[in-house]
Amino acid sequence: MRYLPKSPAEREQMLAEIGAKSIDDLFSVIPAEYRLNRDLDVPRQQGESEIIDYFKAAGQKNATNFASFLGAGAYRHYRPVIIDSLVQRGEFLTSYTPYQAEITQGTLQAIFEFQTMIAELTGMDVANASMYDGSTGAAEAVMMAVRVTGRHKAVVARTVHPEYREVMATYAKHQGLPSTLVGYDRETGRVDLKALEAEVTEETAAVLVQSPNFFGTIEDIPAIAEIAHKKGALLIVSIAEAVSLGVVRAPVEADIVSMEAQSFGVALSYGGPFCGVIAAKEAYLRQMPGRLVGQTVDHDGNRGFVLTLSTREQHIRREKATSNICTNQALVALMATIFLTVYGKEGIRELAEHNLAKADYAAKTLAEQAGTKLLFNSAPRFHEFVLETAESPALWGPRLLDEKIVGGVELSRWYPELGNATLWCATEVNTREQIDAAAKVLAAGLVEA
C-alpha cells in the first residue's frame, strides 16, 4: 500500500522487538467472536490514475458547462488562483488546531487576520475563528443570546434561509427554547415590522433576521434593532451572502452577526465545506462559541498569537461549555482571508458593485418578458431577485436546461403562497449573453402557448 512507509522486513523486526509473534498478537484483546475474518466490502485497491478517472467520470456525469442563476445560500463567485496555491501548502493543509502556539504561529496569525477582516466587514467589535457554516452559526448565535439575556424565547423572520431555520429548530428543540416566526411584507419582501413588534416581548432573548434576506432584499436593520432593543432582546443578523458587505451597509445595530463566508473564495462543492463565523459586540465575548485567537507577547517581548479565552470551550468546561464545537473550518477561513486580501478595500467594493449591476440587468431583462414580473420590487436588493412567471417553472425549467442554463430556485417548496415564483441570482460570473439567453427561453413559452 503506497501510503504505508514500511517494508515487510521492518514489520517483522518491530514485532520481534515488541515481543509479539505476529500482528494478530496485538489484536488478541479483541474477543474472537467480534473479529472480522473477511475482507471489507469496499472497492479493490486502485492506482492513482484509476482514482482520478473515477472522479473525473463522476464530475462529467454531473454535467458541466451549464450557465447557472442559482444562489439561495450558496454563491458562484470567481476564485483567484492563489487561494488554492496557498492553502495547499502542506504547512497549512496538514497542520492541526494551533494548541501548540510556538509551532503554529502561521495558522494563528492568519486566523487573527481573519477575525479582524470579519469584524471590519460586519461592523462588529470581535469575530471568532469560524463555525461550521451559516446555518449552524445562526443556531449557535441564538443559543448565545439566550446565555447573554437569560431569556428563553426567539423570534425568527420567515425571510431567514429556510434551511437555516430548520437547523435552528433542531438545535432549539431540546433546550426549552421556543421560537415564533414572523412573516414578510408582500410588497417589499422584508420582515413585517408590525408583526415583529407584536411578537417581541420582555421574554424574547433574540430576534433573528437575515440580510440580504432569502428573497435577496435588504432588511431595514436600524428599524428592526429598535424593535428588538426596546424590549431588551438582542438582534442577530444572519448574512448568507458575504460579498454584499462590499456595498451594503454593515449591520452595526446588531448585537451578534452570524455570517456564511463561502462567497469569499470557497468552492460550491455541492454545499460544503463552507465557512460560518460569528461576530459580536465586545460585551458578549465571554458567551461566544468557538475558538478565538488573541495577540500577546512572548518572554522576549515579541508579538505572538495564542488560542485564548478557552475556558468557554468544551475541552475545559465540558458540559458547561458555551458550545460542543471543537473542529471548525480553519482552512476554509484561510481561503476567505486570502480572498479578502486579494480584493482588498477597493476590490470588495468593485466586486459587489459588479454583482449589483449584473443582478439589476438580469432582473430588468427577465421581467421585461411577457408573463413575468418581479416581486418585492419596492425594497433595495443585492444580487438576488424573485421572479413570478405566468408559466409554471416545471415548464420553463426543462426548456432552460435544454439550452444549458439552470434557472432560479422554485420558492413554493418553502413558501407555498408564492406559487410560480422563483429566486434568481446573478453574480459577476454571469454574462450578459447568459442573461439574454435565459430571457429568450422564458419569453418563448408564451409565444408557443
Nearest to 154 by CA among 238, 46, 82, 274: 238
Compare residues 198 and 357 and give the one whose CB is closer to another protein: 357
User: Which residue(s) pair with 390 in the sheet?
Assistant: none
Compare residues 304 and 371 and give the one whose CB is closer to another protein: 304
Give 429's contacts (C-beta < 8 A, 6+ positions apart).
76, 77, 78
Considering only residues 116, 180, 377, 412, which one is a binding residue for another protein as defined by CB under 8 A?
Answer: 116
Q: Is 416 in the site for another protein (CB under 8 A)?
A: no
Compare residues 201 and 311 and give the one whose CB is closer to another protein: 311
Number of residues that bind another protein (CB under 8 A): 198
Q: Which three cell numbers stand for residue 216?
A: 435577496
Give the span between the Cα atoms of 200 and 153, in whole angstroms. 9
Q: How far is the CB of 379 from another protein (least distance, A)?
A: 9
Give the span between the Cα atoms of 405 and 397, in whole angstroms. 9
Binding mask 197-216 for another protein (x = CB under 8 A): --------------------
Q: How far is the CB of 173 from another protein (least distance, A)?
A: 7
Q: How far is the CB of 239 from another protein (least distance, A)?
A: 13
Q: Which three cell numbers stand for residue 214?
A: 432569502
Q: How far is the CB of 148 from another protein (least distance, A)?
A: 17
Considering only residues 77, 151, 358, 383, which one is a binding residue for another protein as defined by CB under 8 A?
Answer: 358
Q: Which three cell numbers stand for residue 108?
A: 494563528
Q: Are the C-beta atoms of residues 159 and 191 closer than 8 Å to each other?
A: yes
Q: Is 193 in the site for another protein (CB under 8 A)?
A: no
Considering only residues 31, 150, 394, 416, which one is a binding residue for another protein as defined by CB under 8 A?
Answer: 31
Q: Is 95 in the site for another protein (CB under 8 A)?
A: yes
Considering only residues 67, 77, 104, 179, which one is a binding residue for another protein as defined by CB under 8 A?
Answer: 104
Give 99's contacts (C-beta < 8 A, 6+ positions apart).
307
* Interface of this chain with another protein, residues 117 to 156, rule: CB under 8 A: 117, 119-121, 125-127, 129-130, 132-136, 143
Q: Is 82 in the site for another protein (CB under 8 A)?
A: yes
Compare residues 84 and 198 and give the one whose CB is closer to another protein: 84
Q: How far is the CB of 296 from another protein (least distance, A)?
A: 4
Compare residues 413 and 448 and give the one whose CB is closer to another protein: 413
* Interface of this chain with another protein, residues 316 to 355, rule: CB under 8 A: 316-321, 323-332, 334, 338, 340-354
Q: How far is the CB of 359 from another protein (least distance, A)?
A: 9
* 3-state DSSP assignment of residue 274: coil
Binding mask 212-251 for another protein (x = CB under 8 A): ------x-x------------------------xxxxxx-
Q: Is 36 in the site for another protein (CB under 8 A)?
A: yes
Considering only residues 29, 394, 447, 449, which one is a binding residue for another protein as defined by CB under 8 A?
Answer: 29
- C-beta atoms surrounding 46 within 10 Å: 11
Considering only residues 151, 152, 160, 163, which one is a binding residue for another protein as defined by CB under 8 A?
Answer: 163
Q: Are the C-beta atoms of residues 426 and 72 closer than 8 Å to each other?
A: no
User: Which residue(s) pair with 259 in the sheet?
Assistant: 239, 277
> ∠ CA 333-249-140 to the nearest 5 degrees?
45
Q: Strand 234-239 relative to strand 293-297: parallel, antiparallel, unpaired?
A: unpaired
* Interface of this chain with another protein, residues 261 to 290, rule: CB under 8 A: 267-273, 285
* Interface of this chain with another protein, residues 378 to 397, rule: CB under 8 A: 380, 397
Considering only residues 67, 77, 110, 207, which one is a binding residue for another protein as defined by CB under 8 A?
Answer: 110
Q: Strand 372-375 relative to strand 409-410: parallel, antiparallel, unpaired?
A: unpaired
Distances (CA, A) of 116 to 125, 283, 327: 9, 17, 21
Compare residues 174 and 449 and give the one whose CB is closer to another protein: 174
Compare residues 232 and 392 and give the one whose CB is closer to another protein: 392
Q: Are the C-beta atoms of residues 390 and 446 closer than 8 Å to each other?
A: yes
According to DSSP, residue 222 is labeled: H
Q: Are the C-beta atoms of residues 305 and 294 closer than 8 Å to each other?
A: yes
Considering only residues 224, 291, 369, 405, which one is a binding residue for another protein as defined by CB under 8 A?
Answer: 291
* Interface of this chain with another protein, residues 47 to 66, rule: CB under 8 A: 48, 50-52, 54-64, 66
- C-beta atoms surrounding 268 within 10 Å: 15
Q: Strand 234-239 relative to strand 256-260: parallel, antiparallel, unpaired?
A: parallel
Q: Are the C-beta atoms of residues 213 and 157 closer than 8 Å to each other?
A: yes
Compare residues 41 and 202 and give the one whose CB is closer to another protein: 41
Nearest to 169 by CA among 156, 182, 159: 156
